[in-house]
Structure 1
Amino acid sequence: MSTIEHSVDVEVPVRVAYNQWTQFESFPEFMEGVESVKQISDTRTVWVADIAGVRREFEAEITEQHPDERIAWRTTDKPHQAGVVTFHRLDDNTTRVTLQMEYDPEGFVETAGDWLQLVRMRVVGDMKRFKTFIESRGGETGGWRGDVPGPHQRGSMYGDSDQRVPPGTVGGGDLPPSDTLP
């Protein structure tokens, strides 16, 4: 199992950043390799993506969602992937968006790509493109403000791993450090 974490500070209010992230069908506009995302219910999406040169279709479910705080998900089958994106208000017009993701590389090509940090580089690029995407628009393209309770009342699970993460935080801390990778 591999884990990636990356943060980016976006110059928009937390509500705008959160609302845009709920617009899953816009993900191909800033996520490399994502061909399409179709939302089939409040908590289910179908993805078509290029993973290590292989076109894959998979379903993901939202396991927890709280407006302006967090969205957690996991795939329902292979490829195994789970994660959480959290939104932290830094000031009225700045939000730290942190993505934590765990995944299981399948086969030689994906394992080699993981070893070479290709997935991490893709995530870093996706987060930078999200920053450009949301800041250049000046506002969100829509938003879903529904609440999906997590599996536990006093804290949820990070994806489907055993790491407990209290609502509104990442790894139990108040604000994660902003990643300074180029």
Structure 2
Amino acid sequence: MSTITESVDVKATVSAVYNQWTQFESFPRFMDGVEEVRQVDDVHTHWKISVAGVTKEFDATITEQHPDERVAWTSDAGPTHAGVITFHRIDDTTTRVTAQMDIDPDGFVENVADKLGILDRKVKGDMQRFKTFIEHRDGQETGEWRGNVDRPAQH
């Protein structure tokens, strides 16, 4: 299991940045290797990704979501991963977005990519492309979802 942490400062309000991040179906526009994300309901997404020329599909569950603060998820099947994206107001027009992900590479190619630091660079590139995506829209998001998803109770 590898942990990847990456941050980027975005020239947009925290609400606009958060709102854009909740538009999961726009992820292929700035995430390398993500071919499609479909929001099934408020807490379930279906992903189609391409890794080293191999297409994979998997489902993920949003485990916690609070407007302008955080979105956390875990995979239900397929590549094992979980993570959280947090949003921090730096000032009225700047937001720091931090991604922290735990990834368990699946198979030889993904393990090699992890060992060579390719996964870290991929996440860094995705974060930079997200920054460019929203900043080129003059900080205007393509949509929003402002609902709350509370973390499941521990038993």
TM-score after normalising by structure 1: 0.82
Equivalent residues of 1:6, 1:100 under 8 A apart: yes
Runs of 4+ residues over 3 Å off in structure 1? none
Instruction: Show the counterpart of 2:69.
Output: 69
Gaps of 5+ in 2: none
Structure 1 Cα separation of the partners of residues 55 and 78 of structure 2: 13
For residues 106-163 of structure 1, the C-alpha deviation after alignment (integer angstroms, 9 at most, x for no partner) is: 121111110011111110000000000000002000000000001359xxxxxxxxxx
Equivalent residues of 2:57, 2:78 under 8 A apart: no
For residues 1-20 of structure 1, the C-alpha deviation after alignment (integer angstroms, 9 at most, x for no partner) is: 01100000000000000000
Instruction: Show the counterpart of 1:29.
Output: 29
The one-letter code of the counterpart of 2:120 is: R
For residues 37-84 of structure 1, the C-alpha deviation after alignment (integer angstroms, 9 at most, x for no partner) is: 000100000000012332100001100000000000011012101000
Instruction: Show the counterpart of 1:99.
Output: 99
Instruction: Show the counterpart of 1:5.
Output: 5
Equivalent residues of 1:52, 1:113 under 8 A apart: no
The one-letter code of the counterpart of 1:118 is: I
The one-letter code of the counterpart of 2:40 is: I
Q: Does 1:140 align with 2:146?
A: no
Kindly tell me: are residues 87 and 152 of structure 1, through their superposed partners in 2, closer, same or farther at Cα, counting changes over 3 Å? farther
Structure 2 Cα separation of the partners of residues 152 and 30 of structure 1: 34
Instruction: Show the counterpart of 2:86.
Output: 86
RMSD: 1.1
Structure 1 Cα separation of the partners of residues 52 and 43 of structure 2: 26
Instruction: Show the counterpart of 2:60.
Output: 60
Structure 2 Cα separation of the partners of residues 114 and 52 of structure 1: 13
The offset of 1:34, in angstroms, is: 0.3
Query: Aligned with 2:60: secondary structure?
Result: strand
Query: Aligned with 2:123: secondary structure?
Result: helix
Q: Which has the higher contact order (CA 8 A, sep 6+)?
A: 2
Q: State the identity as a percent.
A: 61
The one-letter code of the counterpart of 1:44 is: H
Gaps of 5+ in 1: 154-182
